[in-house]
């Protein structure tokens, strides 16, 4: 976006009572990036929240060799002690630690297993796979994390390999061990999470797309290239798409997610791409007329309408998106940092709202008041995510970042009032992850986390939308030709 310090200060606090004078769009973008990274890494490498797997050591060694061509240059990847990878994620868990935290020992960062909800859903799995894939892409950006010949970034390039392998492992497990013959992914209780089916379509399409590319965006290569797996996941996407042709999505959340998933699927350019674009248009028309009950649903609707406009170029969808944006912002109190009709928000609501505002800033241009869009982007993030306690803790700067990443202002890494994990609550502290829900406390005139549990689907949805603030590096808006 090319924001200058002066530009950020011009939006200082965005009108929020108690907001920081130095908090602007750039700070939102960078904090969103880091919160995304904290949430994913703590879920899929530390928490133990799911069925675990351990890759063979020879595979791990090959991944290390692929990211580090010069092991004698002082920058060599290592396998963290106690790392725990997941082949299937559970829906929810208590993110409190059960031992004194040692940042170098992931065994001390496991969560309390007695607090696990050992259910599985397509939404939880799909959003986690999407997040692993998106961070694998991020860790492959040459200018940011270097190449195998570089003397910096080897550990994070290795983590990118782990994220890619985890995404493939989870997606293959679902396709072979869980999916029905028609490709639908049932929950562990046998029910069908319909919104999650569309998220899984998006996840399969994402994997099939980037695993087949000779080079990734902003990179000269693709260390993850695996045409055989790309074909496998494309076939899984085809089966799921075929099953979903018989589904009429219900309500703004499922309709919006269907539109977004069809964009990812159409971007594969398969034989069904034209049909997918036609279905996308039809569902977006329905979405434009659907009623919403709260700001979260309004965010979903706006996010889907912006995608429909972006992909089809049909001005009808732009007008519908503009009306949706105007209604969303018309119900917002900038001084108090809240939507006046809503007393609480789930992490999934916040994901949808912030994703919709980000997409509006990127793609609606002068059809909306971009100054107001920037104010809402800054104000709601500061109010809900930071001051409202949605992000429950942030790690010390050296713990989660390589030495080459520690040159930015501290505010980029986390909001100052958010505690470090040991001080976040309980005997041993809380992992740096999102809470499930925040509620408005009228006496304190701010949001507070009223459900500190970790909701996998909502947290991973938010983590995806938050890294897509940085769409110049990881673009969550695929091109459909």
For the residues of 309-327, what is the DSSP string, one character each?
HHHH--HHHHHHHHHHHHH
Q: In terms of Cα–Cα distance, which of 132, 124, 57, 45 is closest to 86? A: 45
Q: For residues 96 and 433, give the distance between their C-alpha atoms in angstroms, rounded to a whole number.
A: 10
Q: What is the pLDDT of residue 398?
A: 83
Backbone angles phi, psi at 480, to 5 degrees: -115, 120
Q: Give the confidence band of 15 by pLDDT, cuts at 50, 70, 90.
A: confident
Q: Are 160 and 238 in contact (CB under 8 A)?
A: no
Q: For residues 45 and 358, give the distance between their C-alpha atoms in angstroms, rounded to a whole number.
A: 28
Taking the domains of the chain in order of start, what are their residue ranges? 15-470
Q: In terms of Cα–Cα distance, which of 285, 197, 317 is closest to 247? A: 197
Q: Give the confidence band of 401 by pLDDT, cuts at 50, 70, 90.
A: confident
Q: For residues 431 and 424, give the distance between their C-alpha atoms in angstroms, rounded to a whole number.
A: 8
Q: What is the pLDDT of residue 175?
A: 98
Q: For the segment 94-153, what is each residue's pLDDT rounded down to a tens digit?
A: 999 999 999 999 999 999 999 999 999 999 999 999 999 999 999 999 999 999 999 999
Q: Give the confidence band of 227 by pLDDT, cuts at 50, 70, 90.
A: very high
Q: For residues 146 and 70, give the distance between their C-alpha atoms in angstroms, rounded to a whole number.
A: 13
What is the rounded average pLDDT for all residues in the chain?
Answer: 95
Q: In terms of Cα–Cα distance, which of 301, 280, 135 is closest to 206? A: 135
Q: Are 476 and 468 in contact (CB under 8 A)?
A: yes
User: What's the full length of the chain, in residues?
Assistant: 481
CA angle (26 as vertex; 24, 28 as ends), nearest 5: 70
CATH class of 15-470: mainly alpha
Beta strands in 251-367 (DSSP E): 332-333, 338-339, 344-346
Distances (CA, A) of 316 to 84, 119, 278, 429: 48, 41, 15, 50
Q: For residues 182 and 282, give the distance between their C-alpha atoms in angstroms, rounded to a whole number.
A: 23
Q: For residues 111 and 454, give the distance between their C-alpha atoms in angstroms, rounded to a whole number.
A: 10
Note the pTM of the prediction, 2 decimals.
0.96
């Amino acid at each position: 976006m090319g924001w200058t310090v002066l530009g950020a200060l011009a939006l200082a606090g965005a009108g929020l009572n108690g907001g920081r004078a130095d908090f602007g769009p750039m700070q939102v973008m960078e904090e969103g990036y880091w919160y995304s990274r904290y949430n994913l890494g703590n879920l899929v490498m530390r928490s133990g929240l799911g069925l675990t797997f351990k890759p063979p050591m020879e595979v791990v060694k090959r991944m290390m060799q692929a990211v580090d061509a010069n092991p004698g240059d002082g920058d060599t990847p290592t396998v963290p002690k106690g790392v725990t990878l997941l082949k299937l994620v559970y829906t929810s868990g208590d993110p409190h630690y059960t031992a004194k935290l040692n940042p170098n020992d992931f065994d001390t960062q496991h969560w309390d297993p007695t607090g696990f909800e050992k259910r599985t859903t397509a939404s939880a799995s799909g959003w986690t796979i999407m997040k692993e894939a998106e961070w694998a892409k991020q860790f492959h950006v040459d200018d940011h994390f270097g190449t195998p010949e570089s003397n910096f970034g080897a550990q994070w390039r290795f983590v990118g390999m782990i994220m890619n392998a985890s995404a493939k492992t989870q997606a293959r497990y679902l396709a072979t061990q869980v999916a029905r013959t028609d490709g639908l992914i049932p929950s562990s209780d046998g029910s069908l999470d319909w919104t999650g089916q569309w998220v899984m379509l998006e996840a399969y399409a994402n994997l099939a797309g980037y695993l087949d590319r000779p080079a990734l965006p902003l990179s000269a290569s693709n260390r993850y290239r695996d045409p055989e797996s790309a074909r496998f996941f494309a076939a899984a996407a085809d089966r799921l798409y075929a099953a979903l042709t018989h589904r009429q999505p219900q309500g703004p959340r499922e309709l919006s997610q269907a539109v977004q998933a069809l964009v990812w699927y159409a971007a594969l350019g398969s034989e069904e791409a034209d049909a997918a674009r036609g279905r996308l248009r039809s569902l977006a028309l329905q979405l434009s007329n659907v009623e919403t009950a709260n700001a979260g649903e309004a965010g979903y609707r706006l996010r889907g309408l912006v995608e429909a406009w972006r992909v089809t170029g049909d001005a009808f969808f732009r007008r519908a998106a503009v009306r949706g944006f105007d209604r969303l912002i018309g119900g917002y109190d900038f001084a108090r940092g809240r939507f006046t009709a809503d007393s609480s928000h789930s992490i999934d609501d916040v994901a949808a709202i912030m994703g919709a505002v980000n997409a509006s800033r990127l793609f609606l241009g002068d059809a909306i008041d971009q100054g107001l869009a920037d104010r809402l982007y800054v104000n709601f993030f500061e109010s809900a995510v930071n001051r409202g306690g949605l992000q429950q803790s942030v790690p010390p700067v050296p713990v989660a970042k390589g030495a080459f990443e520690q040159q930015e202002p501290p505010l980029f890494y986390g909001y100052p009032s958010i505690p470090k994990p040991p001080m976040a609550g309980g005997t041993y502290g809380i992992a740096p992850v999102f809470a499930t829900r925040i509620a408005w406390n009228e006496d304190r005139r701010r949001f507070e986390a009223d459900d500190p549990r970790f909701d996998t689907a909502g947290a991973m949805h938010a983590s995806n939308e938050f890294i897509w603030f940085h769409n110049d590096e990881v673009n969550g808006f695929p091109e459909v030709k």
